[in-house]
Structure 1
Amino acid sequence: MLTSPVPRQAVLIVNAKSRRGQAMFDEARTKIAAAGIELIDCHAVRDPAKLNDTVRGAVRSGAPMVIVGGGDGSLSCVVDDVVGKDCVFAVLPLGTANSFARTLGLPLDLDGAIDAIASGRRRRIDLGMIDDDYFANCAAMGLSPMIGDTVPHNLKKYLGRIGYLGWAVWCFFRFRPFRLMIDDGTREHRMWATEVRMLNGRFHGGVEMTETTDVDSGDMVIQVVAGRKLWKLVVDWYGKFFRLRSRDAGIREFRGRELRLDTRPHHRISIDGEVLARTPVTVRVAQRAIEVVVPG
């Protein structure tokens, strides 16, 4: 099936609070224009609370494409604003992990990402949903929200993945397993868990978590690091980081268009790195929700 070409006009919106956002804004604006895309407007958003309003305003103004620069949290919080709209969503990966960009197959350097936008193609993709909130890539509960909720201000910005990893180790020794209940519409599954990932894409924290799903699969994958032993969580991340053959040992996976999750005790949920929800929740897929730009 033929698809329309990538628009040649766009609004550029960069989260200037993301790790590389402020430093890259002027360079991105110059290089995007040089690549043949006319920028109708440009915004370096220094207050993250205004990011949604800025994207919403660009969409309402009739922009055929919005190019958003930032990390996974920035991208995830604004995808709601293009759902159901005649506006293409393009990504400049300026964050720490850039999991959504990895899932889309985008280069992680600025020149490569801009070239992918200028010479790329449209792709209609699914989004995940936690209750009524859309998200782009992955939600998680367990250790990830504990890290995201307590990480010191600006640690990721100045130290990147190394600083984030150091804080993760600190949190690991204060974390406790929890009871998990998953209702897949047929039966309820009960188990102990140390981490739960709700995957719309393949990556979480910059690491490939699964090869069995994609952003147009039409369903969600719930991946559980099962059991009460914290060392299994370490083994799981180690295996996935180094892509070992045994990397899925100890993992339980559930699939579906809609699943109900609860925990004892109730747990906070990070959505693409931002702690925004708390169990119990309904996890569902929003099929073919937005159009994005991917490499041609």
Structure 2
Amino acid sequence: MTPAPLPRAAALIVNAHSRSGRDLFVEAKAKLEAAGMTLTEAHAVEDPNALAETVRRAVANGAPMVIVGGGDGTLSGTIDELIGQHCVFAVLPLGTANSFARTLELPLDLDGAIAVIAGGRRRRVDLGMIDGDYFVNGASIGLPALIGQTVPHALKRYLGRVGYLLWALRCSIRFRAFRLMIDDGIVERRMWSTEVRILNGCYHGGVELSDTANLESGEIVIQAVVGRSRARLAADWYAKFFRLRDRQAHTREFRGCTFRIETTPRMKISIDGEVLAKTPVVAKIAAQAVEIAVPRGAASV
């Protein structure tokens, strides 16, 4: 069955607090209109806390598609408003890592992203959930949560992924391994770990971390870096960043619909780059939860 074409009318909502949002809002608005899109409303939102409400109003006003510009945290914080609605979600990747856009095979430049919105197709995809909160791409326990909680906004804004790396090196000095328990309702597994990734998509932090995570699989992937060594954690990121042949050597992966995750001590959780939860939590998949604008030639995501 051929999916319905993308709407030609949409609401544009950009996080003007994101790394590129303030500078690109006016340009994006002009280019979308030049591409033949009718913008029913357009907002550059300075306060990130107002983004979800702005999207909620646009959906209530009948927008057939909502275009959200920002990073992964912006997308994760607003996509809840489209659950159960007849509204397509479209992405302008204006963040630092843009992991969800990478998973969707979206162009990361403004012109390419607009071309997808104006001429792509719709695809229904899965979302992840942490204790009832939807997320688009991935959550993590361990060093990324510490980085996300403490990284200065100016460093993130002006240095991007390099800034994250520098701050990660600083944070790793005081970081320690933790005890991890993963329960899928059948088997309870216990191990030492330095990082846990809860993956709906294959990318996290702009790096392809899993070969098996897929937005249409109907399953969520739990990936744990096992052991107590910080050097092993660094080696895992190095191997995955450079896509080495043994890049899965330091991790264990578990696939399923629902997992209970506990840690000792309790650990904070970064959800698509924003620290929003703390263990213990239930992580699960929300299959086929939302329609997304994707490129016409995109493979299975």
TM above 0.5? yes
Q: Runs of 4+ in structure 1 displaced over 4 angstroms?
A: none
Q: Name 1:163's counterpart in structure 2.
A: 163
1 CA distance for matches of 2:230 and 2:51?
A: 37
Q: Are 1:225 and 2:243 an aligned pair?
A: no
Indicate yes or no: 2:170 matched with 1:174.
no
Instruction: Look up the equivalent residue of 2:5 and give its one-letter code.
Output: P
Q: What CA distance in whole angstroms lies between the structure 1 residues aligned with 2:230 and 2:138?
A: 21
Rounded to whole Å, the distance in 2 between the matches of 1:65 and 1:88 is 4
Number of aligned positions between the proteins: 296
CA distance in 2: counterparts of 1:216 and 1:172, whole angstroms? 34
2: CA distance, partners of 1:250 / 1:153: 31
Q: In the alignment, residue 83 of structure 2 is paired with which amino acid?
A: V
Amino acid at match of 1:218: G
* 1:21 counterpart letter in structure 2: G
Aligned to 2:242: 242
- Taking the aligned partners of 1:212 and 1:52, their CA distance within structure 2 comes to 31
Instruction: Kindly report the root-mean-square deviation, in angstroms, between the aligned alpha carbons of the 2 structures.
Output: 0.6
Q: CA deviation at 1:278?
A: 0.3
Q: Distance in 1 between matches of 2:205 and 2:31?
A: 28
Partner Cα separation in structure 2 for residue 106 and residue 137 of structure 1: 14
Where does residue 20 of structure 1 map in the other structure? Answer: 20
Q: Distance in 1 between matches of 2:252 and 2:121?
A: 35
TM-score between both structures, scaled by the size of structure 1: 0.99
Any idea what the Cα deviations from partners look like across 1:92-128, whole Å, max 9, x if unmatched? 0000000000000000000000001111000000000
1:126-137 paired onto structure 2 within 5 Å? 126-137=126-137
Q: Are 2:95 and 1:95 equivalent residues in the alignment?
A: yes
Quick one: distance in 1 between partners of 2:87 and 2:154?
A: 32
For residue 173 of structure 1, report the CA deviation from its aligned partner. 1.0
Q: Does 1:4 align with 2:4?
A: yes
- Structure-2 residue corresponding to 1:282: 282
Matched residue SS, 1:247: coil
Counterpart residue identity of residue 32, structure 1: L
| DSSP 3-state at the match of 1:212 | coil
- Give the C-alpha shift of residue 153 in structure 1: 3.0
Q: CA deviation at 1:163?
A: 1.2
CA distance in 2, matches of 1:162, 1:247: 21
SS of alignment partner, residue 7 of structure 2: coil
* Partner of residue 141, structure 1: 141
Letter aligned with residue 175 of structure 1: F
